[in-house]
Structure 1
Amino acid sequence: MDIKTKQHRALGYKVWAAALLLAGSLQALGEVRQLDTLALSISSLENPFYVALVKGTELEAKRINPAVKLTTRVNEYSVERQIRHIHEFIEQRVDLLLINAADYHGLKDAVAAARAAGIIVVAVDVTAEGVDAEVRTDNRQAGELACSYLASALKGQGRVVIQNGPQISSVIERVAGCHNALQAYPGIKVLSDNEDGKASRWGGMQLMQAQLQRFPELNGVFTINDRQAVGADLAARRAGRRLLITSVDGAPDVEKALQSDSLIQASASQDPYEMASQAVQIGVALLQGRQAPRVKLLPTSLVTRDNVRQYQGWQRRTR
C-alpha cells in the first residue's frame, strides 16, 4: 500500500468517525430528521412506468409530510446528466434522494458525495454502486416468467429472439432470467439476444423490422419492456407475420393489447407505485436512524390473456 493510499484511507476513517460522533450527538439530543425535501432522478418521462414512479413517490412523500418539497430531474439514460443532477441536489441540501441509475458504476463518486453531505440515497428500479438502499422488481424472475410462458406457448419448439435494451441492471437481469428459463427447452433456439431496442416503442418497431428480414422463420420474441413489445407487435403485424411476443412491465398499453388481436401474449408485471412507496419509506427510516432493508426485491406475476381482466394494473393505484 503506497503513502497516498494510506493517507486517503486515514482521511476516510476520520470522516467516518466524525459522522458517527455527529449521529450519536444528535441521537443523544433526541433530534430526529424529518422528510422536508426529496429529489428524484429518473430516466425518462416518456415511459409511463417512470411517470407512475414519480406519482407514487409524490403520493407516499406527501402522506408522510404534506408539506414536503419534491424535485424531479430526467436524465434520458445519460450518466453525465445524472451526475450534474446529483450535484445540484447536493447544493440544495435535500434530505432524501431517489435515483433511477443510468449506470451502475458511473454514479459512484456522485453518490458518495451526496452521502457525505448527509443525504440518504436510495436506488429505485435499477441498482447503483454505493447507495444506502435499493428497491426494485425481481427482474430475473420477471424474465424467467415471460420466457417460460413463451417457450410453453411454442410447445417447446421454435426460433426466438430476445430484444435487449439499455444496459442497466433491470434489463441485464431480465435477459439473464429469460436465458435461464429457456435452458429447460432444448427445442427453442435463440437467434439474437444482444440488440438494443432502446426501451421504446420506436426502437422495438425498428429492431423488429430488421429482425424479421434476417430471420424469416422467426416464431417468438421476448422484449425487455412493454414499450418495445408494442413496437415489435406493430412491425410484425404490418409485415403479415404471425409470431408470439412476451414482455415485462404489465403496463396500461399491454393491458389493452392483451384484450385485442395483437401478437402480445403475456407480460411480467411491475408495480411502480409500490416500488416508489417502499423506496420513500425505507429512505425515511434511514433518515431517522431506524433499521431498514438494504435490498428490497418486489415479486412479479404474469399477466396473460386469460387473467388480464382480473389484473389490478398501474392506473388503479391512483383511484
Structure 2
Amino acid sequence: MRIIQSFKTPLFLIVAMGIAAHALAADKELKSVGLTVGDLGNPFFVQIAHGVAAKSKEYNPAVKITSLSSNYDIKEQARQMKDFVSSGVDLIILGAANSKAVASSVKHAKSRGVIVVAVDVGAEGGVDATVMSDNKQAGEQAGQYIVDKLHGKGQVVIVNGQPVTSVRDRVAGVLSVFKKNPEIKVLSQNQDAGGTTEGGERVMSDLLTSYRHLDAVFAVNDPTAIGCDLAGRKAKRTEFFIVGVDGSPEAVGAMKQKESLFEATSAQDPYLMAQKAVEVGYNILQGKKPEETSILIPVKLITRDNVSAYSGWTR
C-alpha cells in the first residue's frame, strides 16, 4: 500500500524559504579568474585580457584576475592551467595554444570543479562553452573580396597559422570560396607563420622567392598580414594585395597608407568576445547553463573603401 501524506506550510514560511533559496543560489561569488591566451604581445589578445578584467569586475570588484601568455607553447599552457587549478580559480578563460592537445588540461580542470570557457578558438576536453568569432564567415568574406578584386582569376597564397580551430575555420572558409572559382589558383596554403608579424614576414619572404608573380595573399590574422606587407615592400614586390583577419588598429593604420599592400580585414571584436565568455562562465557558476554551448559572433569586412567609417574594436 502506498501512503501519501499531506503537509500544510504557512504561506509566509513558503515565501521566506523561497527568498532564502534565491539568496543561496545567487551567493556564488566570482573570486578568481585565470586567463591563458596565445600571445599577449598581440593587441588582439590584450583586448581579450581587458574584456575579461572589465566583465569580471562587474561581478566582483575585488576579483583576482591572472592573465598569462602561453606563447603558443602547449606545455607552457598546460602548466598555467595546472597552476590555475591549484590556486583555486573559479573560472578559466582559455585561448587554446593547440585545440586538440589542450584536452588533458581541460579535463583536469573540469575534474576539480573549475569552469572552463574557451574564447577565440575551440578546445577539446569538454569545455563548458565556447565563445568565438564566426571564423568560417571571416574566411568567406576574405575569399570573396579576393575573388571580386581579381575578377575570378589569379594566383593566390594562404599564409597559415597555429593548429587551432579558428585558423582552420578561416582557411576552410576562404578555400570554400576559391573552389567555386576554378581560375583562382592557390599556390601555397600550408606555411605556418605562427600568427606573428615576424612569422608573416619570414614566410612571405620565402614565398616571394618561390613565386615570381602573385596576385593576392590571405593571411590568417592581422599580425601575419602586417608581416607579409613588410616582406613585400622590402622585396619591392607590389603586384599583389593582402587580406587579413582581426580588424586591429595596426591593420587600419596600414590600410590608410597608400604604399601598403594591406587592403582588407575581416574585423572581430575581442573585447566583446571576452566579456561574453566571462558572462557565460559566471552564469554557469550560478547554475545557469547556456542554451547554446557554442556562441559565434559575426564579423565584418573592412576595406580601404569603408575603413574611414570603421570605429574599431569596442574598447
Query: What's the CA shift for 1:105?
Result: 2.3
Pick from 16, 35, 57 the counterpart of residue 62 of structure 1: 57
Residues of 1 paired with 2:102 and 2:242: CA distance? 34
The separation in 2 between residues aligned to 1:165 and 1:68, in whole angstroms, is 34
Deviation of 1:27 (Å)? 6.9
The answer for the alignment partner of 1:254 in structure 2 is: 251
Which aligned runs of 4 or more in structure 1 are off by greater than 6 angstroms?
A: 26-29
1:112 maps to which of 107, 110, 135:
107
SS of aligned partner of 2:145 = helix
Distance 1:27 1:143, change over 3 A: farther
Gapped runs of 5+ residues in structure 2? Answer: 1-19
Match of 1:217 among 204, 210, 213: 213
1:181 to 177, 202, 207: 177
1:278 aligns with 276
User: CA separation in 2, counterparts of 1:107 and 1:167?
Assistant: 11
DSSP-derived class of the 2:223 partner: helix
- Flag structure 1 segments of 5+ consecutive residues without an equivalent: 1-25
Could you tell me which of 127, 133, 136 is aligned with 2:129? 133
Deviation at 1:92, TM superposition (A): 1.0
CA apart distance, 1:299: 0.5
The two structures, once aligned, show a CA RMSD in angstroms of: 1.5
TM-score when normalising by structure 2: 0.89
Partner SS for 1:76? coil
Q: Distance in 2 between matches of 1:28 and 1:111?
A: 31
Which deviates more, 100-109 or 255-264? 100-109
Q: Which residue of 2 aligns with 1:150?
A: 146
- Residue 266 in structure 1 maps to residue 260 in structure 2: no
| Distance in 2, Cα, partners of 1:309 & 1:29 | 49
2:33 to 23, 30, 38: 38
Asked if the contact 2:51/2:274 (under 8 Å) is kept, the reply is yes
**C-alpha deviations, 1:34-66, integer Å up to 9, x for none?**
211111011111111001110111111112211
Cα shift readout 1:106-141 (whole Å, capped 9, x = no counterpart)? 222221221222211000011111100010111111
Distance in 2, matches of 1:83 and 1:97, equals 12
Structure 1 residue 287 corresponds to structure 2 residue 288: no
User: Quick one: distance in 2 between partners of 1:178 and 1:198?
Assistant: 19
Q: Give the Cα separation in 1 of the matches to 2:63 and 2:162.
A: 33
Secondary structure of the residue that 1:312 maps to in structure 2?
Answer: coil
Following the alignment from structure 2 to structure 1, what is the Cα–Cα distance between the partners of residues 242 and 39?
24
1:229 equivalent in alignment to 2:228: no
- Compare CA radii of gyration and give the structure with the larger one: 2
Report the alpha carbon displacement of residue 207 of structure 1 after superposing the two structures with TM.
1.1
**Which SS does the other structure have where 1:30 is aligned?**
helix
